[in-house]
């Protein structure tokens, strides 16, 4: 792998019905779909509600708060585009709205992370088009 630049970071391959999610992150908001028939949030965004199959879906701004369901600190053998980021944290966040999201936990000592630790969203702009929602521990 010497002599060649690492490949560019993979950018989200966006489905048309998920555009409001990415538009919101650009504005520094976390937006989630909500089914007005089932009265539940849905993530990731779907073309129809995965519970009732209906299309009474609307976008709501989420609290941006949740807990770490599980996490891992990547220290070696990452995909090429991520080797320069090591160590980095991949985590599944359980949002207070009852849905899960895969993300990174940033701005923390990786050794201090624990399952079920409370976190809040932060926004990381990667280019003009994409801002990724990431999470950091909430200070006790």
Q: Strands 65-74 and 88-95, how do they pair?
A: antiparallel
Least distance from C-beta 100 to other proteins, angstroms? 5
Q: Is 78 in the site for other proteins (CB under 8 A)?
A: yes
Residue 112 backbone dihedrals phi, psi, to 5 degrees: -90, -5
Nearer to Zn ion, 62 or 91 (CB): 62
Of how many residues is the chain composed? 140
- Report the SS3 class of residue 17: helix
**DSSP code at position 83:** G
Q: Is 101 in the site for other proteins (CB under 8 A)?
A: yes
Q: Is 136 in the site for other proteins (CB under 8 A)?
A: no
The contact mask relative to other proteins for 102-131 (x = CB under 8 A, - = no) is xxx-----x----xx-------------x-
Chain-centroid distance, C-alpha 22: 11
Which residues form the interface with Zn ion (CB under 5 A)?
35, 37-38, 49, 51-52
């Amino acid at each position: 792998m010497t002599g060649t630049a690492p490949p560019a970071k993979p950018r989200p391959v966006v489905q048309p019905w998920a555009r409001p999610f990415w538009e919101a992150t650009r504005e520094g908001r976390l937006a989630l779909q909500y089914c007005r028939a089932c009265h539940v949030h849905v993530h990731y965004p779907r073309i129809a509600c995965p519970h009732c199959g209906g299309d009474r879906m609307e976008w709501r701004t989420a609290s941006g708060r949740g807990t770490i369901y599980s996490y891992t600190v990547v220290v070696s053998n990452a995909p090429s585009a991520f080797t320069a980021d090591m160590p980095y944290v991949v985590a599944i966040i359980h949002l207070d709205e009852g849905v899960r999201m895969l993300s990174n936990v940033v701005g923390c000592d990786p050794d201090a992370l624990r399952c079920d630790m409370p976190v809040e969203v932060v926004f990381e702009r990667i280019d003009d088009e994409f801002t990724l929602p990431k999470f950091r521990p909430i200070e006790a």
